[in-house]
Structure 1
Amino acid sequence: MRERHEAHGARRAREFEAFVAGAAGRLLHTATLLTAEAPDDNPRARRLLTLALAETYTSWDGLRGEDPYDRARRGLATRFAHSAWHRYGLLGRHRPHSGSALAGLTPQQRLIIVLRLYEGVAEEQTAALLGLPAQRVQAICARATATLLHPPQDPAPAALEAEVAPS
């Protein structure tokens, strides 16, 4: 009995290692897009990934045909959403300081853009994952896409100098 249990544990570990070897790179990139950190300096993204993979591993035997990549991606998305909610409030107005094109978006906009456009998750699935109506997800995605395609213009340097110059 003990040998069978050890064999099952070893098989489980090999399967999970193979999954991580194939999926970790893409999942890390997804997490990095969510956090809008630089790819070579992404501690929040790495923490999100570690926690999502740990959660996936603990439920590995119970997946029963469910896609482990989908489970890990959902873990990333929900952990990111919860951390953004607790850190920045409902609207998540914080903008990370990075060179990422996604840094100009709110956390909710980044989450929806990454799930819809980078990961290819259907609008209805994204809405269900986030607990939002599909029409709201569609509107947020459209607004975020418009912001990415036409970023707000920074004020001209002369205008900035005029604002700070003493009268």
Structure 2
Amino acid sequence: MRARQASRGARRGREFEAFVAGAAGRLLHTATLLTAEAPDANPRARRLLTRALAHTYAAWGRLRGEDPYDRTRAYLALRFAHRARHRYGARGRAGPAPGSTLAHLTPRERLVLALRLYEGVAEEQTAALLGLPADRVRTLCDRATATLLHPPRPRAPEAAGAEAAGAMTRRPR
């Protein structure tokens, strides 16, 4: 009996290792897109992926034909959405990598964009996963795409300096 359990445990470990070897790179890239960190400096994305993989491993024996990649990606997305909502508020913008194009997007826009365009998840599936109407997912994706194609212009340094100088020369009343 013990030998059979040990054999099953070893097989489970090998299967999970094979899954991680094949899927971890793509999932890390997805997590990096979500956190808007630089690909070579992404500690939050790595923590997010580690949690998602740990969750999948804990449920590995109960998957029963379910795709482990889909399950891990769903947990990754939901964990990011939950954390972003508590960390930045519902409409807050993240500030991880100021030079990143994705830093101009809200966490929810990054989430929808990563799922729809990078992962290729259908609009209806994304809506169901996030608990949003399909129209809202479409709007978020369109807005995020438009922001990426036409990022907001940075404020001119001389205009900012002129405002500060003007504020200093004004006399109090």
TM-score range normalised by the length of the shorter chain: over 0.9
1:67 positional shift: 0.8
1:13 positional shift: 0.3
Q: Percent identity, aligned pairs only?
A: 72
RMSD after superposition = 1.1
Deviations 1:63-122 (Å, cap 9, x if unpaired)?
A: 111111111101110110011011111112333234322111010000000000000000
Unaligned runs of 5+ in 2: none
- Equivalent residue, structure 2, for 1:148: 148
Contact kept, 8 Å, 1:38 with 1:98, in 2: the verdict is: no
1:162 positional shift: 1.1
Q: Distance in 1 between matches of 2:3 and 2:97?
A: 53
1:138 positional shift: 0.2
SS of the equivalent of 2:99 reads coil
- Equivalent residue, structure 1, for 2:57: 57
- Equivalent residue, structure 1, for 2:91: 91
1:29 aligns with 2:29: yes
Contact kept, 8 Å, 2:38 with 2:97, in 1: the verdict is: no
- Equivalent residue, structure 2, for 1:76: 76
Contact kept, 8 Å, 1:36 with 1:98, in 2: the verdict is: no
- Equivalent residue, structure 1, for 2:40: 40
Partner amino acid, structure 2, of 1:72: T
- Equivalent residue, structure 2, for 1:3: 3
1:158 positional shift: 2.4
The TM-score with structure 1 as length reference comes to 0.96
Q: Distance in 1 between matches of 2:156 and 2:89?
A: 31
Q: Distance in 2 between matches of 1:99 and 1:156?
A: 16
Greater C-alpha Rg: 2
1:154 positional shift: 1.5
Contact kept, 8 Å, 2:28 with 2:46, in 1: the verdict is: yes
